[in-house]
Amino acid sequence: MTKYNGWTNYETWLANVYLGDAYYQNYDVEDDEVVSAKILKDILEEMLFQDIDVKNNILNDVANSFLSSVNFHELAKDYNEELENHKKMEIV
């Protein structure tokens, strides 16, 4: 499988670009929180569909195709590792 900038594919990389700032700026992260693939997918869906009329629209189809290609489990793993590293730095 071809990787893109270290991620599973282009869609996962792009999702990370958009989710990165949005997640940390708009959602309070508790000390014991685990970021799930579902949480990240819900956030990205909200970002994608907030301005799209989801009724039989080509943009809806493109957005759903994009979402189906994103590896949300890879993103969640990366975010959890980053949160864990951040916690360790606070302890030091």
Q: Is residue 25 situated within a structural domain?
A: yes
Of 11, 2, 31, 26, nearest to 74 by C-alpha is 11
Q: Is residue 24 situated within a structural domain?
A: yes
Q: What is the pLDDT along the chain (92 residues), one digit of tens a residue?
A: 568 999 999 999 999 999 987 766 666 666 567 889 999 999 999 888 887 776 668 888 888 999 999 999 999 999 899 888 877 777 65
Q: Is residue 3 situated within a structural domain?
A: no
- Mean of per-residue pLDDT scores for the chain: 84
Tell me the residue range of the domain where 20 lies: 10-91
Q: What is the pTM of this model?
A: 0.82
Q: Positive or negative, the Cα torsion across 36, 73, 46, 27?
A: positive
d(CA 36, CA 26): 16
Q: Is residue 4 situated within a structural domain?
A: no
Q: Is residue 27 situated within a structural domain?
A: yes
Residue 72 neighbours by CB under 8 Å, 6+ apart:
15, 37, 38, 40, 41
Identify the pLDDT of residue 12: 97
Identify the pLDDT of residue 27: 64
Are 75 and 16 in contact, with CB atoms under 8 Å apart? yes
Q: Is residue 2 situated within a structural domain?
A: no
Q: Is residue 51 situated within a structural domain?
A: yes
Axis crossing angle, helix 72-91 with helix 10-26, rounded to the nearest 10 = 40
Q: Is residue 46 situated within a structural domain?
A: yes
